[in-house]
Chain A
Amino acid sequence: MQKNTFKRKTLPSLAMAGPVSLWMILFVTLPMLYIIYISFMSRGVFGDVVYKFSLESYETLLDSTYFKVILKSIKAAFVTTVLCILIGYPFAYYIAKKPKEVASKLIMLIMIPFWTNSLMRLNSWLLLFQTSGPVNNFLLSTGFIDTPMSFVYTDGLVMVGMITNMLPFAVLPMYSSIEKLSRSLLEASADLGASGRTTFFNITLPLTFPGIFSSIILVFIPSLGIYTVTDMLGGGKVLYIGNIIKNQFGSIRNWPLGAALSVLLIVITGLLIYIYTRFAKIEDMEVL
């Protein structure tokens, strides 16, 4: 009988989940374990990995230069997230209040940058903002400035790049939670004496909070590890964790240090996801 239940229940689910699990183990879990393993090894003279236990890489992380970069990256990711939410929420709200056909077109507009090659997108930013680019030309011709401003390879431009890159991730979850909000709840609130503003803070905002939180996670985590935007718009002059990891594995060839930095990112990500699931549970209970 036991064998029978196994055949009937366990086997089919194993058949379905099996390949995916195997794939995940092979290509996600194992590499991750390997990264963790390497982070505790030492670096050889020729940039190779010497398989001898050492905490050297982690000690380097605490070194002030690296530590500063880490803090700076966290700060940049934080600012990106806050701005994406602040810009994205009104935008998501606006779209959600439009009729369905209009809304789907607007969503489409947001998605278009996703489908263009990111190198092309970032390069066009550089062209736009370079010393003799259209933005400077425009500012010069209107007389706002009399010498061209240097936008490229600055923290400012990197920030603008990060925000535009991440905005769609912020808008979509918030849009879907605002859109799901039943109109009759807002009408009930108005009926009972609330102005539009009061209704927003009492009903709309709390009920769309899960969406906001998803957006935070979806923006913050990639922002922390991003290196394409910082590489291109920062021109290698502006360093974030992502760039350093890339360099350690690439040109500098200090794999244990790169691995240790990666582990740090994984830990931060894991922590956030843990908070998220805990939070989501509480939220569920609130709604129940």
Chain B
Amino acid sequence: MSDSIVSLIDVEKSFGKNKVVKKMNVEIKEGEFLTLLGPSGCGKTTTLRMIAGFEEATSGAIKVQGESVEDKEPFERDVNTVFQNYALFPHMSVFDNIAYGLKIRKRPKDEITKRVNEMLDLVQLKGYENRKPDALSGGQKQRVAIARALINNPKVLLLDEPLGALDLKLRKQMQVELKRLQKKLGITFVYVTHDQEEALTMSDRIAVMNEGVIEQLATPREIYDRPFTKFVAGFIGESNIFDGKVKALHDGILDVETSSGTMKVKGSGFDVGESIHVSIRPEYVKVNSDPVEGFDLKGNVKDYIYMGTVVKTSVDLKDNIEIKYSRFEKDEDFKEGDSVNIYWNPERAVAIKAKK
């Protein structure tokens, strides 16, 4: 494929007996912002380190610009890394840190000065060039790390939780800046985070990882609206997930039997009797005093959390399962303890194949 800049083909990585990355296949497109998202220990850093060249894949191939990088050292790859803990050289000034990549390549002095100044402009750190890293704030260190990684004009920038150590406000600000930077430079970002909100706001595509496997690789919208797996549905945003069996199917709508009662969900490719997960976001859950056709989900309103314009409530269903729902404050309302019937638009619910 001509438009993919990095390809992972059947890549696997084991540390001893522990298989950390399993049969991974990804085509990263030129110029895109791709995020590896997943819980701690799922293999995000390991994947990134294999692309960078710090870790060798146990099997499979990694290609950058169509060329296999197996035998290439980290410095021979058109790829640079922004490390999670910044990894700035403590004995060098901001200027020398940023200039490092050019000095190593023995570029002429005036070119170095010119390029470093461009980088300082880019990350808005003019005037800090003589400081040592320890005299910088977390956000400033992060900018130096980014400038240092960009000075060699990499085709791909790898970022391992670059905002992990920053406080929430700075984090939000840096998210916007990073996204802007990526658009401006037009280079590919491969971004690692375990913060789903960060992934949703910044990425062109998200690869949701779990236990060394990519569960879904899609745009943020698709990931949110049409999760492929139970894990993705549960990991991204809030979701109510039911386990059940397909009872009947007609016109692309499935009747599903769960331990809490029956429900409807849009879905195709399922057989009667097949195990299934049904996922429904709290904002799509509806409540009625009378039963609704096709739904048999009865329960009592449990608690009532007022959150400004939105109210969050949960209903206790059969089998001790609780369903969360949220709605606008001015909507029709039930009080705590009221007996209610739950339903939803079957189009809004997601049918997920159960893993064999």
Interface residues in chain A, defined as those with a beta carbon under 8 Å from any beta carbon in chain B: 182, 184-185, 187-195, 198, 202-203, 206-207, 286-288
Contact = CB atoms under 8 A, between A and B. Distances in A.
B85 A192 contact: no
Contacts of A189: 89, 100
B73 A192 contact: no
B80 interface: yes
Contact of B101 (A192, A207, A287): A192
**Chief secondary structure at chain A's binding surface:** helix
Given A187-B54, A188-B89, A287-B90, A193 B101 contact: yes
A192 B152 contact: yes
Nearest to A198: B104
A187 B91 contact: no
Instruction: Select the residue from B84, B90, B148 with max chain A CB neighbours within 10 A.
Output: B90
Nearest to A286: B91
Nearest to A209: B91
Nearest to B85: A184
A202 B105 CA distance: 13
Given A198-B104, A288-B134, A192 B87 contact: no
Given A182-B85, A192-B152, 7 more contacts: A188-B83, A188-B88, A190-B73, A191-B52, A192-B104, A193-B101, A207-B90
A154 B199 CA distance: 72
5 contacts: A188-B81, A188-B148, A192-B80, A194-B104, A195-B75
Contacts of B85: 182, 184
B339 to A, nearest CB: 58
B354 interface: no
B348 interface: no
Interface of B: 52, 54, 73-75, 80-81, 83-85, 87-91, 100-101, 104-105, 132, 134-135, 148-149, 152
Contacts of B105: 193
Closest 10 CB pairs of A and B: A192-B101, A184-B87, A188-B87, A193-B75, A193-B104, A190-B74, A288-B134, A194-B104, A184-B83, A191-B74
B132 A286 contact: yes
Contacts of A202: 100, 104
A194 B54 contact: no
Contacts of B90: 207, 287
A192 B75 contact: yes
Contact of A193 (B81, B84, B152): B152
Given A191-B74, A192-B101, A288-B135, A182 B87 contact: yes
B183 to A, nearest CB: 24
A188 to B, nearest CB: 4
A287 B90 CA distance: 6
Nearest to B160: A184
A190 B132 contact: no
A200 to B, nearest CB: 13
A3 to B, nearest CB: 42
A181 to B, nearest CB: 10
B132 A288 contact: yes
